């Protein structure tokens, strides 16, 4: 049984940015990210190396993609659910402020 079911954040205009981002990934990478999200759903609360708190109620699912690339899905927990706010492929060691800001705005309901 899922302890923390995942839902896609949906903007006012009906877009689901994380779903759209996932569909843009290669099938193998999409499967990796999906499995990691599923692991969080069933094993919550879970920590490193799969999940890391980012502060301010934000968390990240840490996925290792094909070709040595790294993806992150930023989420928050609301009403005992995992709300997938933002997904991206990391290009730097540190999570870019811009990506954190996108997730924060979506969490507050002010989509970018």
Which CATH number goes with the domain that contains 90?
A: 3.30.2310
| Within-domain flag for 57 | yes
Helix pair 27-43, 17-24: axis angle to 10 deg: 140
83 three-state secondary structure:
strand
Structure tokens at 68: 């040595």
Task: Let me know if residue 18 belongs to a domain.
Answer: yes
- Residue 79: inside a domain: yes
- The one-digit pLDDT tens for each residue of the chain (112 residues) are 999 999 999 999 999 999 999 999 999 999 999 999 999 999 999 999 999 999 999 999 999 999 999 999 999 999 999 999 999 999 998 999 999 999 999 999 865 4
Number of other residues whose CB lies within 10 A of the CB of residue 71:
22
Question: CA geometry: angle at 103 spanning 95 and 69, to 5°?
Answer: 40
Whether 112 maps to a domain, the answer reads: no
Q: Is residue 1 part of a domain?
A: no
The beta strands (E) that lie in the chain are given as 6-8, 51-55, 58-64, 70-78, 81-90
Give the tokens for residue 35: 């499995």
What is the number of structural domains in the chain?
A: 1
The verdict on residue 43 lying in a domain is yes
Q: Report how far residue 31's alpha carbon sits from residue 75's, in angstroms, rounded to the nearest whole number.
A: 18
Parent domain of 32 = 6-107
């Amino acid at each position: 049984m899922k302890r923390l079911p995942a839902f896609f954040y949906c903007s006012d205009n009906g877009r689901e940015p994380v779903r759209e981002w996932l569909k843009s990934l290669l099938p193998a990478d999409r499967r990796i990210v999906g499995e990691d999200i599923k692991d969080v759903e069933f094993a919550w609360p879970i920590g490193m190396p799969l999940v890391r708190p980012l502060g301010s109620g934000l968390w990240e699912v840490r996925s290792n993609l094909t070709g040595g690339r790294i993806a992150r899905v930023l989420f928050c927990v609301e009403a005992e659910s995992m709300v997938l706010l933002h997904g991206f492929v990391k290009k730097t060691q540190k999570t870019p402020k811009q990506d954190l800001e996108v997730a924060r705005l979506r969490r507050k309901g002010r989509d970018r």
